Structure 1
Amino acid sequence: AEGTEGAAGTLVGEAALLAALGRARTGRMADVVATIQAEQDRVVRSPLAGVLVVQGGPGTGKTVAALHRAAYLLYTHRTALARRGVLVIGPNAVFLRYISEVLPSLGETDVVLTSLGGLFPGVRATAEDAAGTAVVKGDPRMATVLAEAVRLQQRLPEGTLTVRLEDEDEEVSVPHEVCAAARHRAQSLAAPHNVARKRFVTDMLHALVRARAELTGRPLDEEERRHGPGELWRGPAVRRALDGLWPLLTPQRLVAELLSDAELLASSGRGVLGEDERAALVRESDAPWTTGDVPLLDEAAVLLGEDDSEQRAAERARRAERAEEERYARGVLQILGLDGWDVVDPARLAEAHGGGGDSRTTAERAAADRDWAYGHVIVDEAQELSAMAWRTVMRRAPARSMTLVGDVAQRGSAAGARSWAAMLDPHVAGRWREERLTVNYRTPAEVMEAAGRVLAEVAPEMEPPVSVREEGTPPRAVRARPGALVARVAEAAEEERAGLRASGGG
């Protein structure tokens, strides 16, 4: 970067300033906030629109820049982001606790902080999968497997559907072809499973009403057509029969059953996953959620959807209640002789009297809503996210305003990114840009020289950052026999301690 290294390899500009300070990185991030480098400033002030990738090696201040960017964007685009909020996704709970203390010091508190394991409301996953399992769960083919698992839940009876009606002690029957036609109509909606279920259940209830009328001789008049389905639906036997054909599913139930049922996995993954891959997924039914499960839960939520009939009914009731409260408030103002004055708004008076409105902050409402569309999303250690995880993150940012911070060369997850293009092009091809941080203010030059040699072997396309300080003591290589690594590390540590004591150190 310009202003980083002179012709003779001498650090200049902002890097020279940091080198002159000559102090180790200690305490909280605020210790380095005042000396953000010019390249970090470009990151902070980069436009809100689009996807910005901040690529930087260890110690280059990626997270510092990302946090200042969050504060800068919230200040500069306050109107837009105050409504939608900013989501910060970090690698673990320790990091998030740390960031929760840093962000308020930068003047911003209305930001949602979570790890990938907390991105699905109601689930807090901290367990990690074995490497082989993580790779399979993170593969985008799992979206196809989940879609097939949902389709397999939309069943038909083996023959005629027969249901005993408790109140009349009679059995009514619906022919197999009628059931098949009802399923076909529901599937033709191309709607999520739980949404399409409403159509299937409605058609099946009408078929049962007709069957009951034929069996009992009850007239199939307008009243029977209108009230009969609801009457039958209240019967436990009818509910059990229809739930058995097209059940109401939650993401948790679908994913838990899929991962604990080898036969269901085989059916859902046929032609998609190999036998070894399916075997890597199978686990006990009571196994805890892992971070690799969260993208599967989110994908399942999209495939299942919600039958919001009850919510819509509740919303209609709330609107009716609010209208009644406003009528009451208007009457109070008339009694007081204030109805002709623009002093008090009846709607505001009703809200104050009824305590209506959502008093939660933007962050609180967003964290509880899986469908919330954030104004901006920041991901730290973004190289660790799998392809399935990226599908989950992208749903939180439909406007594709994002800041992704990481270092592909430091990828630790077997399911993580091997390149930014491989992970981002399926979602934002041609719409992401990269900024590189090249100055390392944390790691001594002696250590980075050794790290650079390793980097040249594992990721030759990457350039190591330039360190701004030296300690004068290069790292030394210690050989260990196979199986003796732990003991040799302990021995080397003791040797270092002895050397420090001999020189009057700690």
Structure 2
Amino acid sequence: MPARTPLDAERDHLAASRAALRAMRADAEALDIGDVTANWVNAEVLRSEIEQRIKSLADLADTPLFFGRLDYLRDLDADGEHGHRFYIGRRHVHDTGGDPMVIDWRAPVSQPFYRASKQDPRGVRLRRRFGYDGGELTAYEDEHLLDPGEGEEERPSALLQREIERPRVGPMRDIVATIQPEQDEIVRAALSGTVCVQGAPGTGKTAVGLHRVAYLLYSHRERLARSGTLVIGPNRSFLRYIEQVLPALGELEVRQSTVDDLVAHVPVRGTDSAAAARIKGDVRMARVLRRAGRAGGRMPSEPVVVVRGSRRWRVPAYELEQIVRELLDRDIRYNSAREALPRRIAHAVLVRMEEAGEAPDDRTQNAVARTPAVKAAVKEIWPPVDPAKLVLRLLSDAGFLAAHSEGVLTPEERAGILWEKPPRGVASARWSAADAVLIDEAKDLVERTGSLGHVVLDEAQDLSPMQYRAVGRRCSTGSATVLGDLAQGTTPWATESWAAALAHLGKPDAVVEELTRGFRVPREIIAYASRLLPAIAPELAEATSVREAAGSLRVRRVADGTGAAGLDDAVVAACREALEHEGSTGLIAADARIEALADALAAAGLSHLAPGEETSREARLTLVPASLAKGLEYDYVVLDEPAAIVAGEPDGRTGLRRLYVALTRAVSGLTIVHAAPLPRELATPAPASSPAG
């Protein structure tokens, strides 16, 4: 009988841990709450919590239950072995006696797995990483952090490198086994503070943001259960791509949304020109809306006379005006002031009653506030405001817009946002996405927007100031994690400064962290894409990569004279080559080229999916419009005609930023196929290339 190896022992622990997890789930399923709760409402709440608990205890067969082990330097145990050994995994698992078999990666005792080093071992004598094939444990790798014989220089982990480079098909997966020290610092930052992460492509900023949500929910479960959390992405394709990360970490109830979904108070059926959208997204529009919102009311010109029995109580117009001005000076929400006004008028009546020798109480004040005379005065002085109707009037009534944007917008800017053909009403208006944000701003002027405990905002560089304000309202009493890359800003209103963006968000004191060390994009590819940085974001440091992948970049020029068909054929051939490798392939092209390439792929017998569909079906090839490529990643990328991607944007700088995004989506290999000359920023110095056609 062959001697048992350490790997056998680890497999035994894995099997025992899985059995313990099944027992934990069985215990949860067997709970009887019939006589526990006082009423059916409490019973339903408890039943829902138990159902969530059961879901979170699912054992995913192809997902490692633990990925690391920490052996702490402590007193020897009875068997002569070092004690305090912890297995680090995605969730906590304990045996029937309550002793931990797997420690949640978010627990404080797990932190050294990500942070310990030979320079700072944190009491860890051995760190072990495990390698898996599916759910089967196949290898391990040890780091003896206190052993001087291994030298002072840290050797890169082969298992960690393999996990980073593992082919990916389908949705984004977690990086819990590969989190790096600089990423872990951001993940575990305090809930009370807002963190902004400027991250170059491949630095894992999106994954860091999602793992931060999971960490905060672990550390502040009750608080965030009350106040709520939200992940905001740039589009629904992106949200479908990331939707499995948090459930894999045991967090099932985190809401995900786009900014457009957050402000969907009206159906969006229209589009703005870039110039109009830029003006509507400018923070100055908040001042315009504020002025317009206050214009609905009017100063009283008549007294209020309240009849109580045989007595008549009169509040003169000048005193009413004083009440109104005091409410305006308090700068409270429109509806809050409107609700306070009748009580203020009633209070003025009660003062007169007391002066006349009566003894009114709170019930009298409430009754006076509900009298027809007071109600009529409130309706006249402070009429109800409909946010959509307010914005509709601003965008369709030139005089109204001019009156409330005087000194804020220029005449040319006002003309640029006015509708040529004013709609008949809110329902018939062809609202744009920028209009919906204005309505959200107006709605908040009328009534306070509810605030969440924590918001993660990804691809934040593409938001307008007014969109930042919309997000900021959702975390005004909470905190945020802001993720983005200034070099990848591709909207006409993309932010040029995190300081300005955070001020619009209402978090000017946020800490800005910069991630420049890449783990996803090979060094050859990121170096090539970084040639664009002097033109698109000269203030940013060039990203580096820990991954060496010689030959990962190929640039192919289609032979002259072959025309569009020759380019399409060369792209199809490059896709076939990419599909020979394991993993996913993304064909990224200018939006205007998508239809032609779809036809070429179909003619060649290559089936493909659209972005986001990979999460529901096994996919090898995805055809990706350049406008939707941001945040996505593929093992191999075929990039069609860079010049067309640049030309598809309203200006050259935005076009180069869009190209920068497309160039940095590859995890293992990038093939660029072009017929038109490359942008000069890429063409000099020219990389090794080969003709195609």
- 1:117–1:123 Cα contact (<8 Å) kept: no
Corresponding residue for residue 271 of structure 1: 407
- 1:138–1:292 Cα contact (<8 Å) kept: yes
- 1:437–1:465 Cα contact (<8 Å) kept: yes
Is 1:402 matched up with 2:480?
Answer: yes
- 1:444–1:471 Cα contact (<8 Å) kept: no
Offset at 1:434? Answer: 0.9
Instruction: Name which of structure 1's ranges 194-203 and 431-440 shifts more when overlaid on structure 2.
Output: 194-203
Structure 1 residues 348-400: Cα deviation after superposition (integer angstroms, max 9, x where no partner): xxxxxxxxxxxxxxxxxxxxxx323x222111111112222222322322355
The letter of the residue matching 1:86 is T
Distance 1:23 1:264, change over 3 A: same
Corresponding residue for residue 494 of structure 1: 569
Distance 1:21 1:85, change over 3 A: closer
Offset at 1:72? Answer: 1.4
Corresponding residue for residue 438 of structure 2: 296
Structure 1 residues 189-216: Cα deviation after superposition (integer angstroms, max 9, x where no partner): 5433233335666889999xxxxxxxxx
**Structure 2 matches for 1:329-348, cutoff 5 A?**
none
Structure 1 residues 259-313: Cα deviation after superposition (integer angstroms, max 9, x where no partner): 222221111101100112212222344334443234433332332238xxxxxxx
Corresponding residue for residue 249 of structure 1: 385
Is 1:475 matched up with 2:555?
Answer: yes
Is 1:92 matched up with 2:235?
Answer: yes
Corresponding residue for residue 462 of structure 2: 384
Is 1:53 matched up with 2:196?
Answer: yes
Offset at 1:449? Answer: 3.2
Distance 1:48 1:440, change over 3 A: same
- 1:445–1:466 Cα contact (<8 Å) kept: yes
Offset at 1:131? Answer: 1.9
Offset at 1:96? Answer: 2.5
Distance 1:244 1:414, change over 3 A: farther
Larger helix share, 1 or 2: 1
Instruction: Name which of structure 1's ranges 102-111 and 225-234 shifts more when overlaid on structure 2.
Output: 225-234
Aligned mates of 2:188, 2:579 — CA distance in 1: 47
Offset at 1:51? Answer: 1.7
- 2:201–2:518 Cα contact (<8 Å) kept: no
Q: Determine helix, strand or coil for the equivalent of 1:30.
A: coil
Offset at 1:68? Answer: 1.4
Aligned mates of 1:479, 1:410 — CA distance in 2: 31
Corresponding residue for residue 104 of structure 1: 247
Corresponding residue for residue 221 of structure 2: 78
Structure 1 residues 43-71: Cα deviation after superposition (integer angstroms, max 9, x where no partner): 32233231212222223322122111111
Distance 1:160 1:130, change over 3 A: same
Structure 1 gap ranges (5+): 4-10, 162-173, 208-221, 307-369, 482-486
Distance 1:127 1:89, change over 3 A: farther
Aligned mates of 2:252, 2:191 — CA distance in 1: 19
The letter of the residue matching 1:474 is R
The letter of the residue matching 2:533 is L
Corresponding residue for residue 450 of structure 2: 371
The letter of the residue matching 1:278 is R
Structure 1 residues 296-343: Cα deviation after superposition (integer angstroms, max 9, x where no partner): 33332332238xxxxxxxxxxxxxxxxxxxxxxxxxxxxxxxxxxxxx
The letter of the residue matching 1:193 is Y
Aligned mates of 2:574, 2:340 — CA distance in 1: 77
- 1:57–1:440 Cα contact (<8 Å) kept: no
Aligned mates of 1:225, 1:383 — CA distance in 2: 52
Aligned mates of 2:527, 2:341 — CA distance in 1: 66
Distance 1:187 1:399, change over 3 A: closer
Distance 1:132 1:140, change over 3 A: same
The letter of the residue matching 1:492 is L
Corresponding residue for residue 424 of structure 1: 502
Q: Determine helix, strand or coil for the equivalent of 1:460.
A: coil
Aligned mates of 2:369, 2:477 — CA distance in 1: 43
Is 1:436 matched up with 2:572?
Answer: no
The letter of the residue matching 1:299 is E
Structure 1 residues 19-42: Cα deviation after superposition (integer angstroms, max 9, x where no partner): 797554433222755333343333
The letter of the residue matching 1:153 is G
Match of 1:258 among 386, 394, 407: 394
Aligned mates of 2:577, 2:508 — CA distance in 1: 59
Distance 1:465 1:502, change over 3 A: closer
Instruction: Name which of structure 1's ranges 382-391 and 420-429 shifts more when overlaid on structure 2.
Output: 420-429
- 2:346–2:366 Cα contact (<8 Å) kept: no
The letter of the residue matching 2:531 is R
Aligned residues: 402
> Greater relative contact order (Cα 8 A, min sep 6): structure 1 or 2?
1
Distance 1:288 1:500, change over 3 A: closer
Distance 1:232 1:457, change over 3 A: closer
TM-score normalised according to structure 2 size: 0.49
- 2:558–2:566 Cα contact (<8 Å) kept: no
Aligned mates of 2:283, 2:577 — CA distance in 1: 57
Structure 1 residues 99-149: Cα deviation after superposition (integer angstroms, max 9, x where no partner): 333322221122222211222475575865432222212222112111110
Distance 1:456 1:26, change over 3 A: farther
Aligned mates of 2:559, 2:379 — CA distance in 1: 64
Aligned mates of 1:262, 1:376 — CA distance in 2: 40
- 1:15–1:37 Cα contact (<8 Å) kept: no
Is 1:305 matched up with 2:472?
Answer: no
Q: Determine helix, strand or coil for the equivalent of 1:155.
A: coil
Instruction: Name which of structure 1's ranges 284-293 and 246-255 shifts more when overlaid on structure 2.
Output: 284-293
Offset at 1:242? Answer: 6.5
Is 1:187 matched up with 2:310?
Answer: no
Corresponding residue for residue 295 of structure 2: 152
Q: Determine helix, strand or coil for the equivalent of 2:433.
A: coil
Distance 1:144 1:294, change over 3 A: same
Larger strand share, 1 or 2: 2
- 2:173–2:242 Cα contact (<8 Å) kept: no
The letter of the residue matching 1:130 is S
Match of 2:429 among 268, 274, 287: 287
Offset at 1:406? Answer: 0.9
Aligned mates of 1:201, 1:22 — CA distance in 2: 66
Structure 1 residues 391-442: Cα deviation after superposition (integer angstroms, max 9, x where no partner): 232232235522111111101122221121222246444442314142141x
Distance 1:129 1:205, change over 3 A: farther
Corresponding residue for residue 137 of structure 1: 280
Structure 1 residues 214-240: Cα deviation after superposition (integer angstroms, max 9, x where no partner): xxxxxxxx9x99978856469xxx95x
Aligned mates of 1:250, 1:92 — CA distance in 2: 28
Distance 1:472 1:115, change over 3 A: closer
- 1:154–1:183 Cα contact (<8 Å) kept: no
Distance 1:502 1:410, change over 3 A: closer
The letter of the residue matching 1:74 is L
The letter of the residue matching 2:392 is A
Corresponding residue for residue 366 of structure 1: none
